[in-house]
């Protein structure tokens, strides 16, 4: 089936008739219902029969109906179940857009070609995408996934260029370009 790309995660039940909250990770939140059967993290195949915006105004939070789920108890059983789709069903992203799944595992290098580590996650805590880069030794660092900090992504070569020397300087040492100003 190929690699899977995470599209969303169920939350708590909504109401008494089997509806459930759903956090969508797709660019257009309601588009999650258009991918057909989704692979659930508990091993099931899930079909979303309808989705609508959840109350509260968060655009990525939906209320979903799931085929075969008609009771609150069945909806509660979906809490924290993650939904994915096969990578090959997604096609290709637009220029300068990337699937998080394609970035994880890429080597991170300085603009001069020095190894910094490996991209291990692409979190978004509400302020935009970040790259979590794990160096060979020491704690990982979070870098804003913007052109200013990540000027180049080369999927073919399996690398990203990261221009954030302050984040990777060993403790007690000045960053490599401290006089950059």
What does 45-82 look like in DSSP terms, one character per residue? Answer: EE-EEEEEEPTTS-TTEEEEEETT--SHHHHHTTTT-E
Backbone angles phi, psi at 167, to 5 degrees: -75, -20
Q: Mean pLDDT, to the nearest integer, of 123-136? A: 86
| Residue 165 clears pLDDT 50, i.e. is over it | yes
Same fold? 4-89, 100-171: no
Tell whether the torsion through CA atoms of 92, 96, 97 and 102 is positive or negative: positive
- Least trusted range by pLDDT, from 40-44, 114-118, 165-169: 165-169
pLDDT computed for residue 21 by the predictor: 97
pLDDT computed for residue 170 by the predictor: 57
Class of domain 4-89: mainly beta
| Residue 55 clears pLDDT 70, i.e. is over it | yes
Cβ(67)–Cβ(119) below 8 Å: no
Extents of the domains making up the chain = 4-89, 100-171
Question: What's the predicted TM-score (pTM) here?
Answer: 0.68
pLDDT computed for residue 173 by the predictor: 53
| Residue 142 clears pLDDT 80, i.e. is over it | yes
- Going by pLDDT thresholds of 50, 70 and 90, the confidence category of residue 180 is very low
**Span 36-47, pLDDT tens digits:** 999 999 999 999
- Going by pLDDT thresholds of 50, 70 and 90, the confidence category of residue 52 is very high
Q: What average pLDDT does the structure give for the chain?
A: 88
Q: In the CATH scheme, what is the code of domain 100-171?
A: 2.30.30.240
């Amino acid at each position: 089936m190929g690699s899977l790309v995470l599209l969303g995660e169920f939350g708590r039940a909504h109401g008494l008739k089997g509806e459930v909250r759903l956090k969508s990770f797709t660019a257009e939140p309601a588009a999650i219902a258009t991918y057909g059967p989704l692979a659930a993290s508990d091993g099931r195949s899930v079909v979303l029969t309808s989705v609508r915006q959840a109350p509260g105004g968060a655009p990525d939070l939906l209320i979903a109906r799931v085929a075969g789920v008609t009771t609150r108890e069945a909806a509660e059983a979906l809490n924290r179940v993650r939904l994915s789709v096969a990578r090959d069903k997604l096609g290709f992203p637009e220029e300068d857009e990337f699937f998080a799944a394609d970035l994880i595992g890429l080597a991170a290098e300085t603009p001069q070609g020095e190894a910094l580590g490996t991209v291990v996650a692409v979190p978004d805590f509400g302020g935009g995408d970040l790259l979590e880069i794990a160096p060979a030794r020491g704690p990982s660092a979070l870098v804003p996934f913007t052109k200013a900090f990540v000027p180049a992504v080369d999927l073919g070569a399996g690398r990203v260029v990261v221009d954030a020397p302050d984040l990777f300087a060993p403790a007690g040492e000045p960053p490599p370009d401290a006089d950059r100003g």
